[in-house]
Each structure stands twice: as structure tokens, then as C-alpha cells.
């Protein structure tokens, strides 16, 4: 039986997640791996928004911040269990995205990029300045969700990095599965259609403003969950996760790997998370090399790494 592209993507993803640890020389690599997964979760959301629907958000780190601080603040102030805080953070992010997106997405053009940019900056500033609540620029401690202890009581013993590697990997896998479902569903087709031609999508009966809003809200939830997982595994969250640079990083990861493809987005996230780890050798030149890599990819492989590679393979196959 021939595998659908959804099945093969999920298979490749699962295989990489399971096989990689066999090559990890130390526990530290689990930690890097789970960071890759966390970024990839947010980037899969960007793939839906930018890759499918063609909309650009320059403030998605704001939702990462909301998700992260939800896990820090809700358990302490409202006595909510951390696991539930992840869900509440996602709901809040979705609601905020709806509130920000609804008036903006009725307009044509680049309003979303500008408005989301403002939104992201606002969130980062509030988190940094309202020290009485958020701990200010130094960040705030995040309580232990107790999931690892739960597993231990069931007889599964994992080191802390191993646990987060597995857990974030699982969430990423589910996130990728959802995004792939969406791709070939009526909703996903409507998004890709309006990306291609808004006027034609509209004529086909697509409520373009509503469709864009759907994509924006969904992608905000992905970013929020990523922020929550980051906060929970670091046991600390700082305002710079909501910063402008982080928003740009997320978009770059998606575009580098290939914004239209889920696997591409994940690959981009992996690459841009790992590259700085490798490039510490070149410390001072890290940003130079990073910028150079991006420029070369954009010039020679504008569709992004994974779609370009796929096209190349297909071309050879025929």
C-alpha cells in the first residue's frame, strides 16, 4: 500500500524522535531535543497561519509569553494545577487572538503583520514592567507539574530531560497530526485557496475574514502550548520569550524549512535551534553565519529546504 503524504510525514517524524536518542552522548542532548520540539510546536502553528493561509504574524511570541506565564501565575495565584494552566493559557491565547484578529483580518494587506507586531511588543513590555505580578525582567519561577512523579509512581523512571524530551515530542507529534489533518480538510483547503487568490476563494463561497481568523486563533494556541511547555520544563520563564526577536525567529524557522509544509517547519525549527549550539565555537560570528545561511537559502531555495528537496527528489524519480 502506498502511504499518503500525511502518513509518511508522521512516520518520518516519529522515527526521528525515537531513533535520535540512541545517538545522544549525554543527558544534555535530551534537553536540546526538547527545546527543538518546543520551538517546532510553535512553528507548526506558523505553518498553518503563514504556510497555509499566507498571513504573516510578527507577534506570535506574545502568545508564547501568555502560555508560559499562565503556567507560572495561575497555579500560584488561583491554585490551578499546572497541567490545567496549560489549557487555560491556550484558551486565553485563543481568545486574545480572536479579539486582536477579528477587527484586523477584515482589512486587506499587511495589517496583521503590523498589528501583531504591536501586540507582541505590548505583551513583552507588560511582562517586563509589571514586576509585582510577573517578577519583571528576571522572570518568575514555575511550579513543577508533577507529571514525572506521576509516571514514577506507575513504575516508569525517566531523568528530567528524558521526560521532557518524550513529553514535548508527543505534543509535537499530536500538533503535527492536527496540522496535517487540517491541510487536506475543507478548512485547510479554504486557507490555501485564499493564500492563492483571495478574490477567487471568496467567489467560491469562502468567508475569507473568518477563515483567516480561524488560522490566527489556531496558530496562537500552538504558540501558547509551546510557551507553557517551555516554562514547565525550565521551571522558569522570562519576558524575552515574548520578545520581538523570538517572533522573528519563529517566522524564520518556518520560512527556512518551508512554510507550506509541516515537516519543513519542524526541520527549520530543528536547524535554527541546533545551529547556535553548534556555532558556539564561532561565538562572535554566530549571527553572521546564521544570517548568511538564511540569505543563501532564500536566494537558492525560496520555497524552503524541505519542499525544495522534495521537488529535487521527485524530479530525479521521474
Least Cβ distance, residue 2 to other proteins (angstroms): 13
Q: Which long-range contacts (CB under 8 A, 24 or more apart) does 288-296 make?
A: 294/252, 294/256
Residue closer to other proteins (CB basis): 198 or 240:
198
d(CA 246, CA 97): 18
Least Cβ distance, residue 181 to other proteins (angstroms): 4
Q: Which stretch binds other proteins (CB under 8 A): 58-66, 79-87, 153-161, 191-199?
A: 191-199
d(CA 78, CA 207): 39
User: Does the footprint of other proteins cover residue 197 (CB under 8 A)?
Assistant: yes
Q: Which stretch binds other proteins (CB under 8 A): 154-162, 206-214, 246-254, 273-281?
A: 206-214
Least Cβ distance, residue 180 to other proteins (angstroms): 8
x-or-dash pattern for other proteins, window 254-273, by CB under 8 A? ------x-------------
Least Cβ distance, residue 243 to other proteins (angstroms): 29
Least Cβ distance, residue 230 to other proteins (angstroms): 23
d(CA 63, CA 61): 5
Residue closer to other proteins (CB basis): 101 or 188:
188
User: Does the footprint of other proteins cover residue 204 (CB under 8 A)?
Assistant: yes
User: Does the footprint of other proteins cover residue 202 (CB under 8 A)?
Assistant: yes
Residue closer to other proteins (CB basis): 153 or 203:
203
Least Cβ distance, residue 165 to other proteins (angstroms): 25
Cell (9 digits) for 189: 483547503
Footprint of other proteins on 207-226 (CB under 8 A): 207-208, 214, 218
Residue closer to other proteins (CB basis): 152 or 184:
184
- The closest alpha carbon to 47, from 240, 185, 182, 199, belongs to 182
Residue closer to other proteins (CB basis): 52 or 165:
52
Residue closer to other proteins (CB basis): 155 or 186:
186
Residue closer to other proteins (CB basis): 71 or 209:
209
User: Does the footprint of other proteins cover residue 291 (CB under 8 A)?
Assistant: no
User: Does the footprint of other proteins cover residue 195 (CB under 8 A)?
Assistant: yes
Phi and psi at residue 143, in whole multiples of 5°?
-70, 160
Sequence-distant (≥ 6) Cβ neighbours of residue 49 within 8 angstroms: 55, 56, 57, 60, 215, 216, 218, 219
Footprint of other proteins on 131-190 (CB under 8 A): 177-178, 181-182, 184-190
User: Does the footprint of other proteins cover residue 44 (CB under 8 A)?
Assistant: no
Query: Which of 61, 115, 193, 263 contacts other proteins by CB under 8 A?
Result: 193
Sequence-distant (≥ 6) Cβ neighbours of residue 123 within 8 angstroms: 59, 61, 62, 65, 66, 242
Query: Which of 136, 173, 192, 308 contacts other proteins by CB under 8 A?
Result: 192
Chain contacts with other proteins (rule: CB under 8 A): 177-178, 181-182, 184-190, 192-193, 195-197, 199-208, 214, 218, 260
Amino acid at each position: 500500500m502506498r502511504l499518503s503524504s500525511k502518513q509518511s510525514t508522521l512516520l518520518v517524524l516519529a522515527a526521528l524522535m525515537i531513533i535520535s536518542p540512541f545517538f545522544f552522548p549525554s543527558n544534555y542532548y535530551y534537553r536540546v531535543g526538547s527545546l527543538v520540539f518546543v520551538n517546532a510546536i510553535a512553528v507548526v502553528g506558523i505553518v498553518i497561519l503563514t504556510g497555509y493561509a499566507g498571513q504573516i504574524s510578527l507577534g506570535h511570541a506574545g502568545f508564547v509569553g501568555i502560555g508560559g506565564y499562565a503556567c507560572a501565575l495561575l497555579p500560584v495565584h488561583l491554585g490551578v494545577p499546572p497541567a490545567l494552566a496549560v489549557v487555560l493559557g491556550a484558551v486565553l491565547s485563543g481568545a486574545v487572538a480572536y479579539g486582536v484578529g477579528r477587527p484586523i483580518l477584515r482589512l486587506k494587506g499587511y495589517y496583521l503583520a503590523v498589528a501583531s507586531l504591536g501586540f507582541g511588543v505590548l505583551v513583552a513590555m507588560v511582562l517586563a514592567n509589571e514586576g509585582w505580578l510577573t517578577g519583571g525582567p528576571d522572570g518568575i519561577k514555575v511550579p513543577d507539574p508533577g507529571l514525572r512523579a506521576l509516571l514514577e509512581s506507575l513504575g516508569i523512571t525517566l531523568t528530567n530531560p528524558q521526560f521532557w524530551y518524550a513529553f514535548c515530542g508527543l505534543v509535537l507529534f499530536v500538533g503535527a497530526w492536527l496540522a496535517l489533518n487540517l491541510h487536506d480538510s475543507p478548512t485547510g483547503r479554504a486557507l490555501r485557496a485564499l493564500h492563492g487568490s483571495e478574490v477567487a476563494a471568496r467567489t467560491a463561497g469562502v468567508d475569507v475574514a473568518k477563515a483567516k481568523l480561524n488560522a490566527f486563533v489556531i496558530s496562537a494556541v500552538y504558540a501558547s502550548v509551546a510557551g507553557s511547555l517551555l516554562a514547565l520544563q525550565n521551571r522558569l520563564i522570562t519576558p524575552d520569550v515574548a520578545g520581538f526577536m523570538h517572533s522573528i525567529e519563529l517566522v524564520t524557522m518556518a520560512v527556512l524549512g518551508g512554510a507550506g509544509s509541516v515537516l519543513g517547519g519542524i526541520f527549520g525549527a530543528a536547524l535554527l535551534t541546533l545551529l547556535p549550539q553548534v556555532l558556539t565555537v564561532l561565538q562572535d560570528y554566530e549571527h553572521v553565519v546564521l544570517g548568511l545561511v538564511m540569505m543563501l537559502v532564500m536566494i537558492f531555495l525560496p520555497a524552503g529546504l524541505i519542499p525544495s528537496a522534495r521537488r529535487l527528489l521527485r524530479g530525479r524519480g521521474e
